[in-house]
Amino acid sequence: MRAVIQRVTSASCKIEGNITGEINNGFVVLLGIEDADTMDDLQWLAQKIVNMRIFGDENGLMNKALADVNGNILLISQFTLFAQTKKGNRPSFIRAAKPPHAIPLYEEMIAALEALLGKKIATGIFGADMKISLVNDGPVTIVMETKDKDNF
């Protein structure tokens, strides 16, 4: 799994003009899933996301996690995170998991994040054409890869 985590002051997801998810203060998480991903990858990543201390404390240091600031999550599935651009100018998405594998893991990630955070999270709709609006706070953006746990 690959995740792009953006600290935001607000964010929303629209599909055909309708808001499917909206948050204030928290994370937008763009999530890419590949065929090799497992529940172990999912659990590791969910723990990392929820416990990531990238909110400012009283001294202005990044020292607080989502729970410390009553933060929220907007989770968006994004297969394009596994784009391969080595050959030519048209990306290949062959590493991205197909829906029969990706949808159950995406749904499990929603459940895992909600359980760890102790509240509902906002989402897009898997496979939909989504319009994401956000105000990146900082800006703070973190990229994580479950196949490279030693570096995260």
Active-site residue list? 80
27: closest CA among 107, 149, 104, 116? Answer: 116
Q: Which two tokens stand for residue 142?
A: 């973190």
Residues 38 and 137 sit within 8 Å (Cβ to Cβ)? no
CB atoms within 10 A of CB 80: 10
